[in-house]
Amino acid sequence: MTLSNTTAIILAAGSGTRMKSSKPKVIHEVLGKPLIRWVVDTARQAGVEQIICVLGHKRNVVEPFVEADTTVVIQNEQKGTADAVAVCRGAVSSSAKSVLVLNGDCPLITPKTLNDLVEAREASNAGVAVLTMEAPDPHGYGRIVRDAGGMVERIVEQKDCDELQDAITECNSGFYCFDASMLFDALEQVGSNNSQNEFYLTDVVEIARANGRATIGVKAEDVNECLGVNTRIQLAEATKILQLRINHAHMLDGVTIIDPHQAWIGPDVVLENDIEIWPQTFLAGNTHIGEGTVIGYNSRMFDTDVGAQCNISETVAIEAVIEDGCTCGPRAYLRPGAHLCKGAKVGTHVEIKKSVVGPGSKVPHLSYIGDATIGEDVNIGAGTITCNYDGTNKHATIIGDKTFIGSDTMLVAPVTVGSDVVVGAGSVITDDVPDGALALGRAQQLNKEGYTQSHKPKE
């Protein structure tokens, strides 16, 4: 089913005081993605074309996360969920047949459930379809009160429940689908005569019934989809559920994850077949891993493109490119702009920043390479540093093909070292080196014979 004639309203105006955070609740992250982005992206995956985000508390902080692909509406004063939806009246498309109301702190909802909710409402021509759940512990949730025919008669908030209503286990999830033609007229009839003195969106159920419209409940197949995040504990619980949901999907698609409880993979990560992922791995953002690559222990990758048949171990990579057949780690650090060409190697305790390491070239040990272009089949000796910063500006180092850089070399940029060059160990290279040359840039060794004997203390 396509939801092209459906508008989704995402409620994200609250402060989320139980998070005890200076940040708005909806931008706290699960697997590297803010809560509100999970809900926006799910609605988009379900086929919703128009998405409206209702912001209020610290809206200037939240808005950058949603302004590019949603319509932002401001609720200046948080007077309840009915008021939050009502402020969207002028923004909802005139072609909308249904209006979904979603919560910006519920990252577990799936596209299928949203489709089922809209389909159920439209098939029955109901005024309201409520997504309900059988809560193991219903305390805190609004209760679903059904009539003799099974229709939703009303929703009673926890603080307004009497003894019989408090015993009901079918609860309101906070997700709704409304008939767009009746929603905003019904909202004008909502009052605030309740324990919170707020305008409850749930009152629309009784208003719709009074106007002769059917009000149905659609029970969620998985209660976890309805869970919201109000505390740091619930944030961790949502993370664990989504972690396993994502990992199981990858394993069914041909990825080996040694321990799915110890691999954290973001929702936008793309993994090809026959990848092996070992414990304590973090893959986030728009990261892509090619076929047959092994991601070893303790690796973290963010917005990084990794080719096929690579071997990565204890590597941190941020906005880097690693082509086919490369080896990284252990304990390698690839900073933004690092680009390892086919078959390159970056080894133990090596940091690469904004540099190209050419095909088949090696930086095996204890080196820093910054703002450099390294050619093909180059060997960089242990302890080599490109001295790219003069205290004010960054400068480039260029190294040609098949060059050998001896251990403990300082390349003081800007400097160009040609192809087929040998640089002696311990050199400080400050001038360009022509092709085929031997470069030595160190002080002459001085030996003083008999020094030890002449400086021994007398007994």
85: in domain: yes
- 263 lies in the same domain as 322: yes
375: in domain: yes
Q: How many CA atoms lie within 13 A of 354 on its CB side?
A: 9
- For position 164, which CATH number holds? 3.90.550.10
- 219 lies in the same domain as 258: no
Which pLDDT tens digits describe the chain residue by residue (459 residues)? 678 899 999 999 998 899 999 999 999 999 999 999 999 999 999 999 999 999 999 999 999 999 999 999 999 988 899 999 999 999 999 999 999 999 999 999 999 999 999 999 999 999 999 999 998 888 889 999 999 999 999 999 888 899 899 999 999 999 999 999 999 999 999 988 776 778 989 999 999 999 999 999 999 999 999 999 999 999 999 999 999 999 999 999 999 999 999 999 999 999 999 999 999 999 999 999 999 999 999 999 999 999 999 999 999 999 999 999 999 999 999 999 999 999 999 999 999 999 999 999 999 999 999 999 999 999 999 999 999 999 999 999 999 999 999 999 999 999 999 999 999 999 999 999 999 999 999 888 899 999 888 888 876
Cα–Cα nearest to 46, from 8, 90, 18 = 8
φ, ψ at 346 (rounded to 5°): -125, 120
Cα–Cα nearest to 340, from 374, 371, 313, 382 = 374
266: in domain: yes
SS3 content of the chain, % helix, strand, coil (to 5): 20, 30, 50
Contact 91, 52 (CB under 8 A): yes
**Catalytic one of 57, 288, 365, 395:** 365
248: in domain: no
- 220 lies in the same domain as 125: yes
- 291 lies in the same domain as 190: no
Contact 449, 433 (CB under 8 A): no
Domain range for 421: 254-439
- 209 lies in the same domain as 258: no
113: in domain: yes
- For position 385, which CATH number holds? 2.160.10.10
- 166 lies in the same domain as 295: no
243: in domain: no
- 283 lies in the same domain as 350: yes
- 386 lies in the same domain as 260: yes
Q: What is the pTM of this model?
A: 0.91
- 200 lies in the same domain as 261: no
Cα–Cα nearest to 213, from 205, 221, 225 = 205
Catalytic residue check, 455:
no
Cα–Cα nearest to 400, from 356, 450, 364 = 356
- 160 lies in the same domain as 94: yes
Distance between CA atoms of residues 7 and 91, nearest Å: 10
240: in domain: no
DSSP 8-class letter at 442: S
- 78 lies in the same domain as 144: yes
Query: How many domains would you assign to the chain?
Result: 2
Distance between CA atoms of residues 218 and 349, nearest Å: 55
236: in domain: no
Which residue blocks in 170-257 are alpha helix, DSSP H?
Answer: 180-187, 204-210, 232-252
- 214 lies in the same domain as 262: no
